[in-house]
Amino acid sequence: MSDLDFLSRAFGIGSPVADDDGVVAARDTLQRMNSAFRILTDAMPQMVWSTLPDGFHDYYNARWYEFTGVPDGSTDGEGWNDVFHPDDQQFAWSVWRHSLETGDPYEITYRLRHHSGEYRWTLGRALPLRNEAGTIVRWIGTCTDIHESKMMMEENEILSRELSHRIKNIFAVINGLIGMSARQSPQLRPLAEELQDRIAALGRAHEFARPHSEQSRPVSVASTLRGLLGEILSAYPALGEGRLTITGDDPDIDDRSATPIALVFHELATNSAKYGALSSDIGTVAIEVAQVGDDVQVNWIERHGPPLAGEPAETGFGTRLVQLAVTQQLAGGIERHWLPEGLRVDMRISASRLKRADGAPV
């Protein structure tokens, strides 16, 4: 295909058929544009390709042939799929057909055969080029070698899983040591059981909010506040019965905020199961979440439990633990209201403490 024919088809322009001065000038302009296009694409570090509206590949830049080592023109038409890893070919075809049928941008990762014979991970992207009427006249795409970063991500995932496994083992060892100590000192058993419950809650929070890949990410919930609350409170039958509800906004969280959140709601639920609404068959707890400016407001509202006579005379360790977690680790505030119908706890949490900003240090 001549340079003029390529650019004419690229932009949906018919080839000149007469030799008057205007047509000659148009031909020269198209040739200069095409030369500039080819120089630009050959200078790019990415592989650049182009297809007709029906997906027929008719152009690759120099980087494509350098990477693949295939002869010029051998991947025109549908030959491009032969340089994909056999396990990726069917999926690549399905994604490409979807883009051709819908006009949606094309994006996919696949393994592409390098001229050395190895398969390297590549990011493929393409966008449709449309004329003034909105009709697709060409697709312009790129392939970017991401093999090193892909291998690094997989290595980091393996290390992350190994670290998480070791942390979970530490939680288990600590719980076991506490249990052994309680058996030797029976008078400490109630305290030991409370401590073991707290450690178990921290373990669930760690597994929930630790950095995950697509493979290791929990499939049932996302890393959000309401998701974590559901995980922490899943042991209470009231959640499945609909007497314990979580409603409202659902901000993202990460591993930094998951620990104090787990401690706070574990303490609230434990106390409620012992003395409050969750100790009654008809008691209810409503957790309401609302994003308010730079803060997240979380209300814990108990109803239909044992009637309250007012604020307790003494403050327990769990109450002080909740206070410290909210005010210091979550940079917020907490108020308790000992109402006759049940305890109400209003918490304000700084949204900046729930999740690190993108690019912030871990």
pLDDT of residue 219: 43
pLDDT of residue 312: 82
Strand bridging mode 136-145 / 119-130: antiparallel
| Residue that is last in its domain, among 98, 116, 147 | 147
Residue 303 and residue 256 in one domain:
yes
Residue 85 and residue 205 in one domain:
no
pLDDT of residue 246: 96
CATH number of the domain bearing residue 79: 3.30.450.20
Got the DSSP string for 49-107?
EEE-TT--EEEE-HHHHHHH-PPTTTTTBTGGGGGB-HHHHHHHHHHHHHHHHH-PPEE
- pLDDT tens digits along 156-186: 777 666 666 666 666 666 777 777 777 777 7
Residue 215 and residue 228 in one domain:
no
Q: What are the CA-CA distances from residue 174 to residues 127, 177, 179, 197, 317 (Å)?
A: 55, 5, 9, 12, 20
Predicted model pTM: 0.49
pLDDT of residue 268: 92
Distance from chain centroid for Cα 150:
17
| Residue that is last in its domain, among 167, 196, 220 | 220
d(CA 25, CA 33): 12
Q: What residues make up the domain containing 40? A: 3-147
In total, how many domains does the chain have?
3
Strand bridging mode 106-113 / 57-60: unpaired
Give me the numbers of helices (H) and strands (E) for the chain, helices first please. Answer: 11, 10
pLDDT of residue 128: 94
Which residues in the chain come in under a pLDDT of 50?
A: 1-4, 7, 10-19, 212-213, 216, 218-222, 359, 361-362
Residue 229 and residue 283 in one domain:
yes
pLDDT of residue 310: 82
- Number of residues that make up the chain: 362
Residue 234 and residue 360 in one domain:
yes
CATH number of the domain bearing residue 293: 3.30.565.10
Q: What are the CA-CA distances from residue 62 to residues 65, 68, 125, 300, 328 (Å)?
A: 5, 10, 17, 63, 58
Q: Are 11 and 63 in contact (CB under 8 A)?
A: no
Residue 75 and residue 48 in one domain:
yes
Got the DSSP string for 227-245?
HHHHHHTTTSHHHHHTSEE
- pLDDT tens digits along 32-48: 766 667 777 777 788 99
Residue 225 and residue 362 in one domain:
yes
Residue 357 and residue 272 in one domain:
yes
pLDDT of residue 161: 67
| Residue that is last in its domain, among 161, 191, 220 | 220
